[in-house]
Amino acid sequence: MALPTKDLIDLEFLTAEEIMEILETAKPMKDVLKRKIKTVPALRGKTVATLFYENSTRTRLSFELAAKYLSAGTCNISSSASSVAKGESLQDTGRTLDAMGTDIIIIRHNMSGAPKLLGEAVNARVINAGDGTHAHPTQALLDLFTILERKGQIKGLTVTILGDILHSRVARSNIWGLTKLGAHVRVCGPPTLMPTEVEQMGAKVYYDIDEALEGADVVNVLRIQLERQQKGLFPSIEEYAKCYAMTEERLKRAKSDLLVLHPGPMNRTIEIPTAVADSAQCTVEEQVTNGVACRMALLYLMSGGGQDE
């Protein structure tokens, strides 16, 4: 089964079956990562470009490694080191990549909607690697994969997404993916960081962290996005941490097998103290590995799933 649209903008536009196909394809990809020689020829002759207008460690590097492990040609463009800095438009940059024969463009942008705009301007397939506060579909895929691998299922689980929901593209994409796969989704954070549309997306809103964690199987702790904050959304960082940090005490009170996810990068002094971040229940490094496998699966499926071979 091929994915339904040319571009991957968000999990909102995929069915549960299509999401599951990506997760199932990621399983053998993870096996490839465990081999001594990690390269397979699935994308030989294809070219993948990463076009990042915003900083990234995990997403950019894991897409680049995923493409390399599948034997694709890769190139990386950052806005500061390209003609974007001279005023070139997103569409013209995309058309330039098209003219050079790029098959897949991975884009991160600080403006919500930029990947959709790029996809409409180019022939290459476009993958959203995070756009503003809108969506981060591949982060949600790797989070789903991690939950599935650790818990054996997603249907029926209670998953709490904790923190700065308002500015979080990770939260939005996770809500789409988790609800489509049958999880009960709770979102918890200060009222000023809670967008109105989350309930319509199928999540239940909590403002009290202890209530939100009671009986939860998974908590996904979000980074407090200081770079996107407007002034006055909470009194102070200390106050925020007191009310909403995933502390060791809260971990002890929760279900003994509570899984703690964090998309990274972590603020260890704010939302997740070191004792929890480095605990056996926290999957942050596992998520990074799974991110490479999920992105290999997506690149493979978006390149025709081996049909060219």
Minimum CB distance to ligand CP, residue 59 (Å):
3
What per-residue string of b and e applies to 260-297 under the rule 16 or more CB within 10 Å gives b? bbbbbebbeebbbbeebbeeebbbbebbbbbbbbbbbb
Nearer to ligand CP, 110 or 123 (CB): 110
Q: What are the counts of helices (DSSP H) followed by strands (DSSP E) for the chain?
A: 11, 9
Nearer to ligand CP, 102 or 168 (CB): 168
Number of Cβ within 10 Å of residue 220's Cβ equals 30
In the complex, the residues that contact ligand CP under the rule CB under 6 A are 56-59, 130, 139, 263-265
- Write out the H or E segment, with its range, that includes residue 119: helix 114-121
Q: What is the DSSP letter of 222?
A: P
Closest CA to 145 of 297, 301, 306: 297
Nearer to ligand CP, 164 or 254 (CB): 164
Closest CA to 62 of 130, 109, 120, 110: 130
Minimum CB distance to ligand CP, residue 188 (Å):
20
What per-residue string of b and e applies to 98-113 under the rule 16 or more CB within 10 Å gives b? beeebbbbbbbbeeee
Minimum CB distance to ligand CP, residue 208 (Å):
27
Minimum CB distance to ligand CP, residue 41 (Å):
27
Minimum CB distance to ligand CP, residue 48 (Å):
16
Minimum CB distance to ligand CP, residue 138 (Å):
8
Nearer to ligand CP, 58 or 186 (CB): 58
Nearer to ligand CP, 215 or 265 (CB): 265
Nearer to ligand CP, 56 or 281 (CB): 56
Number of Cβ within 10 Å of residue 256's Cβ equals 7
Closest CA to 118 of 130, 128, 133, 110: 128
Amino acid in position 117: L
Residue in this structure with the two tokens 């929901």, named with its chain if needed: 165
Geometric angle at alpha carbon 138, from 171 and 18, rounded to 5°: 100
Token output for 37: 């020689």
| Number of residues written out for the chain | 309
Closest CA to 140 of 30, 255, 23, 47: 23
Strand partners, 128: 107
Minimum CB distance to ligand CP, residue 58 (Å):
4
Nearer to ligand CP, 62 or 303 (CB): 62
Nearer to ligand CP, 116 or 169 (CB): 169
